[in-house]
Amino acid sequence: MQIGVRTDKGVMREKNEDSYYVSDNRRFFIIADGVGGCNAGDVASKTAVESAADFLKNNPLENSTDDKKVYSCLSACIKKVNRIILDIARSDIEYKGMGTTIIILYTFPDKVFLAHMGDSRAYLLRNRVITQITEDHTIPAELFRSGKISFNEAENHPQRNVITKALGMIDEIEADMYKIVLEDKDIMILCTDGLYEEVDEKELVDLFSDEENIQLSCDIIVKLVNSRQSKDNITILALKNGGDDIQ
């Protein structure tokens, strides 16, 4: 499996409120984006990835083929992290209202599982066709799914960055869960909204399909986003199924 990852504060922000984690055994991967407008977004995202990583290291799934066991573990992980973030936010006025998106990707030889909350995204790129796996938890995305507005209206909605579901918002939560059966050369892409707001899906297809080195693809994409004067932080994490790492 090839892995590429890059995070950047961007050209307009003073600090990076995105965080990511790659496990030493390369079994699980996490990205998080501190919710804009909330206090201590960087603390929230960092806490989320570190707490989730600790939970998964202490509760390894090994080579379990039981889907329910995987979903149960990821759900318990998300709920534990949510509780940690809420406890921190309620214990210090400086952190009141902090929150974060999260995506956890857990790998097995022939499949991956995802747990997701917020508007960070996971894509599957297969044979030059890209599919958004996760659904955005935002006001316009919810309106679009309910048929109240069109896709174009959702894309240009003034509240397109208002999150409806994230860690640290409420006590009782449920993450969205996904399972993807992998094929050879499939590429999974995890990214925060600072990236996909500036780079469209066709560009992602071209940049990953035309370049064998996944890390170089991530580097090029972040450089492209910065050249467009993005107002947000940028994080991308990509995994290519099959083959060895290219250093």
State the average pLDDT over residues 206-227: 92
State the average pLDDT over residues 199-220: 92
Cα-to-chain-centroid distance, residue 127: 22
CA distances from 140 to 157, 161, 210 (A): 6, 9, 33
* Domain spans, the chain: 2-231
Q: How confident is the model at residue 213 (pLDDT cuts 50, 70, 90)?
A: very high
* CB contact at 8 A, 242 and 1: yes
Instruction: Compute the CA torsion angle 153, 208, 2, 63 (nearest 10 deg).
Output: 40
State which amino acid sits at residue 73: C
Fold assignment, 2-231: Phosphatase 2c; domain 1 (3.60.40)
Q: How far apart are CA 107 and CA 123, in angstroms?
A: 15
Q: What is the DSSP letter of 24?
A: T
Q: How far apart are CA 8 and CA 23, in angstroms?
A: 20
Predicted structure pTM score: 0.91
Q: Residues 52-88: pLDDT tens digits?
A: 999 999 998 877 778 999 999 999 999 999 999 999 9
pLDDT for the residue 209: 87
Q: Lowest-confidence range among 35-44, 106-115, 119-128? A: 35-44
* For residue 243, pLDDT beyond 60: no
Q: Residues 153-185: pLDDT tens digits?
A: 656 666 667 788 999 999 999 999 999 999 999
* For residue 246, pLDDT beyond 50: no
Tell which residue, 69, 64, 166, has the closest CA to residue 107.
Answer: 64
State which amino acid sits at residue 45: S
Q: Taking the CA of residue 78 as centre, how many other CA atoms within 13 Å lie in the half-sphere pointing to its CB?
A: 32
* CB contact at 8 A, 195 and 234: yes
Partners of 239 in beta bridges: 3, 188
H or E segment to which residue 209 belongs: helix 201-209
